[in-house]
A and B are shown apart, each in its own frame.
Chain A
Amino acid sequence: MPTLRDRLATNEKVAGWVFVLPVLIGIGVFLIVPIGMALWMSFTDWNGLSPPGDAQNVGLDNYRDLLSEPGVPRLDFAMSIRNNLYYVLGVVPAQTAIAFVLAVVVNQKFLRGKAFFRTAYYFPSITSSIAISIVFLFLFQRSGAINQTISALMPGDDFRLNWLDNAEGVLHNVLGAVGVDSAPGFLADNDIMGLSLWQWLSGPSVTMFAIMMLATWTTIGTMMLIFLAGLQNIPADVEEASRVDGATALQRFRLVTIPMMKQPMFFVLTIGLIGTWQVFDQIFVISSGGPQKTTLTPAYLIYREGFQNFSMGRATAIAFLLFVLIMVLTLVQRRILRPDRD
């Protein structure tokens, strides 16, 4: 005869499975099956309209078109990688640095109003990305609030930068300012994936730069909260002890605060990196990939190829390449920056 303990254990086995079953079905139907189907789809020419069963198997053609075959798809993909790379290189350091500084300032004991400032800084992070993009679309108009503010700060100068329809690369502009306004021979003659090295070195376009500012503005709050939680985790007696030992404020910051912040720093960089490689909503509202494809990103390209150009096969191939890219970059970053947990 089974004991009470045995009966309870059997009940737990059954209940455990019953409790997780709905979620398992959901993960299966909306995650695992779709990913499997999409992997298969990336080897076909499905257009998204006809029944998927009619799609022809095209082998590796979709991947070849994106990576090695000269042509528009490869050029678009290369540009989307370039554009997003500059976006990541701009946004991740900016959001991390500003968030860190703000967290340190907000955490100062001699300053009051911590709750108010924390709220003000965090609010953009929880607001709809579409709503924020519309607001920035308005602010960045040619006669808009941003240009008018800059004009007011520079007396006698009527600042009218065309932010939102400006394909000029920021690095090209900087080089132009020091007299380099056309490509040196070897940069123009060599290319990677059909895009000349000179084009790879363009920097973000002015329009992309505006979107980068918007993205930085939106994400600082979340990053700041993570840093703030880390700062508040530093035991008070460690601070106290270093003070008693006669460490100056600067020494305490360098020798106590910075080492204790490795874990939050690693987390902020990880979510920053993963998030910035998926930028989509802001591009959709503000620029639709333009001007001259300078705000095309892999995420937007997936949408455009799939739902506007009806090349679902190619779009899923881009999706898998993006997935691999994000995974590889995350692992590389983990290798380089992983703090020791002990």
Chain B
Amino acid sequence: MTVPPPRERTAREQRRAGSGPFRPRAVTSAPPLEERGQPALYRIGKRVLGYAVLAFFAALFIAPFALALANSFKTRPETLADPLSLIPGEPTLRAYEIMARTDIPRWALNSVFVTVMVTVARLFLDSLAGYALARLRFPGRAVIFALVVAVLAVPPIVLAIPRYLVLGQLGMLDTYSGLILPLAVDAFGIFLMKTFFESIPREMEEAARIDGASIFQTYLRIILPLAAPGLIALTILSFQASWNEFLHPLIAAPSDPDLRTLPVGLALLRGAQGESQDFPLLLGASLLITLPVALIFFVFQRYFIQGVAASAVKG
């Protein structure tokens, strides 16, 4: 008598049987395992409470953005009299028309230019350094890595005046290079890329090296394509960081209004308006700063979350 060999159950069979990685969603009204034995009222009660907490905080986090959007389409008197309504009484594009006529488009272009240059520079520098620190054996590697970690610990506000001093000595105050170069040095990105390169298996690059490829060729042709997810994460994180950066452009371009970025321009515009704030205008400009990061965030959310996870590992 022959016994047929045992066969692996297919995913579909596993699902039907309710075992393996595929657990069935609760089809019947039977509560899931962890809730067996709990009275129905208790199960309903904790759901109501849970959703109430979640919804309350969701409202708290979304409301300021919704109010900013609504009020940017109101007239100035209406923003003062009725700031809470989400639908403008007499909708107007006045704020956005004024924005188009002021320096705001110029600031937006500056922001785009600086952000793109900083991001490109960080991609290049951080991936090179991160690769060397992760893979290449050279004397001084440990010291350099310790230096990078130490740099992470220096608070930016402490660096503000020293940087102003050095930019002045180099003749780079009120120039685009002064806005870009100091931000291109980015210890966190090096750290992120080093961690990422360490997760790539060594075999492929070793094979390429034995076949006679130079280190730079190996890096360019083999390593970088494998590191694409890490590079995307770095792109997004440095785009967000340099787009929102306020302190550095504030001190690096102190006297040329044509070099202001959006955050600097907006903060100074608010200061210049004193007590009679044009809130529809200020809120519209705030939304303009928020929009690009919001779009990128909603598309590439998981990379932001990876970034937070990476920084948590660092601690």
Name A's B-contacting residues (CB within 8 A): 4, 8-9, 11-17, 19-20, 22-24, 26-27, 29-31, 33-35, 37-38, 41, 48, 52, 101-102, 105-106, 108-111, 113, 116-117, 119-124, 126-139, 141, 143-145, 148-149, 217, 221-222, 225-226, 229-230, 243, 264, 266-267, 270-271, 274, 277-278, 280-281, 284-285, 288, 299, 302-303, 306-307, 312, 315-316, 319-320, 322-323, 326-327
Let me know if A285 and B270 touch, CB within 8 A: yes
**Chain A interface: which of B8-16, B80-88, B92-100, B227-235?**
B80-88
Q: What separation, in Å, do the CA atoms of A29 and B177 have in the docked complex? A: 13
Find chain A residues with CB under 8 A from B138 CB: 12-17
Residues of B near A221 (CB, < 8 A) are 61
Contact call B181/A30, Cβ cutoff below 8 A: yes
What are 20 of the A-B contact pairs (CB < 8 Å)?
A12-B138, A23-B128, A26-B181, A38-B161, A38-B162, A105-B53, A116-B58, A117-B58, A123-B65, A126-B293, A127-B290, A128-B243, A138-B79, A139-B67, A221-B61, A281-B267, A302-B158, A319-B161, A323-B155, A323-B158
Q: Are B304 and A122 in contact (CB under 8 A)?
A: yes
A135 x B64 contact (CB < 8 A)? yes
A163 to B283, CA, bound (A): 19
How many angstroms between the C-alpha atoms of A20 and B214 in the bound complex?
Answer: 17
Which are the 4 A-B pairs with shortest beta-carbon distances? A16-B138, A34-B162, A26-B185, A19-B132
Instruction: Indicate whether B188 reaches chain A with its CB closer than 8 angstroms.
Output: no
Interface size range on B against A = 35 or more
CB neighbours (8 Å) of B204 from chain A are none
Q: Is the CB of B216 within 8 A of A127?
A: no
Decide if A19 touches B161 in the complex (CB within 8 Å).
no
Query: Taking the complex as formed, is B287 at the interface, i.e. its CB lies under 8 A from any CB of chain A?
Result: yes
- Least CB separation from B212: chain A residue: A4
Q: From A98, which residue of chain B is reached at the shortest CB distance?
A: B57
The reply on B225 being an interface residue by CB < 8 A is: no
Tell me the interface secondary structure of chain B in the complex: helix
Set of chain B residues within 8 Å of A11, measured between Cβ atoms: 214-215
Bound complex: CA of A183 vs CA of B156, how far in Å?
Answer: 39
Q: Which residues of chain B have C-beta atoms less than 8 A from A131's C-beta?
A: 263, 266, 285-287, 289-290
A267 CB contact (under 8 Å) in B35, B185, B312: B312
Q: Which of B178-194 contact A (CB under 8 A)?
A: 181-182, 184-185, 187, 190
Cβ-defined contact, B305 with A108, below 8 A:
no
Contact of A15 among B34, B57, B132, B277 (CB under 8 A): B132
B101 within 8 Å of A by Cβ? no
Instruction: Give the distance to chain B from A236, nearest Cβ to Cβ, in Å.
Output: 11
- In the complex, B240 has a CB within 8 A of chain A: yes
| B61 in contact with A30 (CB, 8 Å) | no
Known: A137-B277, A307-B254. A110 touches B263 (CB 8 A): no
B64 near A136: Cβ-Cβ < 8 Å? yes
Which chain A positions have C-beta within 8 A of B129?
19-20, 22-23
- Structural contact, A16 and B141, CB atoms closer than 8 A: yes
Closest to A111 in B: B50
Q: Do the beta carbons of B161 and A322 come within 8 Å of each other?
A: no
Chain B residues engaging chain A, CB cutoff 8 angstroms:
32, 34-35, 43, 46-47, 50-51, 53-54, 57-58, 60-62, 64-65, 67-68, 71, 79-81, 83-84, 125-126, 128-129, 131-133, 136-141, 144, 147-148, 151, 153-166, 168-170, 181-182, 184-185, 187, 190, 209-210, 214-216, 219, 240, 243-244, 246-247, 251, 254, 262-263, 266-267, 270-271, 277, 279, 282-283, 285-287, 289-290, 293-294, 297-298, 301, 304-305, 308-309, 311-312, 315
Indicate if the CB atoms of A138 and B267 lie closer than 8 Å: no
Please judge, given known A-B contacts A123-B294, A135-B283, A270-B315, whether A15 and B289 are in contact too, CB under 8 Å.
Answer: no
Which residues does chain A contribute within 8 Å of B141, judged by CB atoms?
Answer: 16
Task: Across the interface, name the chain B residue whose C-beta is closest to A38.
Answer: B162
A329 to chain B, nearest CB (A): 12
B132 proximity list for chain A (CB < 8 A): 15-17, 19-20
**Which of A9, A217, A277, A307 is most buried by chain B, counting CB atoms within 10 A of its CB?**
A307
In the bound complex, residues from chain A placing their C-beta under 8 Å from that of B83 are 138-139, 141, 143-145, 148
In the complex, are the beta carbons of B163 and A274 less than 8 A apart? Answer: no
Cβ of A120: which chain B residues have Cβ within 8 Å of it? Answer: 57-58, 61-62
* CB contact between A326 and one of B54, B128, B155, B254 (< 8 Å): that residue: B155
- What residues of A have a CB within 8 angstroms of the CB of B290 in the complex? 127-128, 131
Question: Do the beta carbons of A322 and B60 come within 8 Å of each other?
Answer: no
A105 touching B157, Cβ below 8 Å: no
Query: In the complex the two chains form, is A20's CB within 8 Å of B57's CB?
Result: no
Q: Is A130 in contact with B161, judged by CB distance below 8 angstroms?
A: no
A126 to chain B: which residues have CB within 8 Å?
240, 244, 293, 297, 304
Contact A280 B157 (CB under 8 A): yes
> In the complex, what residue of chain B is closest to A229 when comparing beta carbons?
B309
Q: Contact check: which of B57, B163, B166 meets A102 at CB < 8 Å? A: B57
From B67, B81, B144, B285, A20 is in contact (CB under 8 Å) with B144
Does A138 contact B312, Cβ atoms closer than 8 Å? no
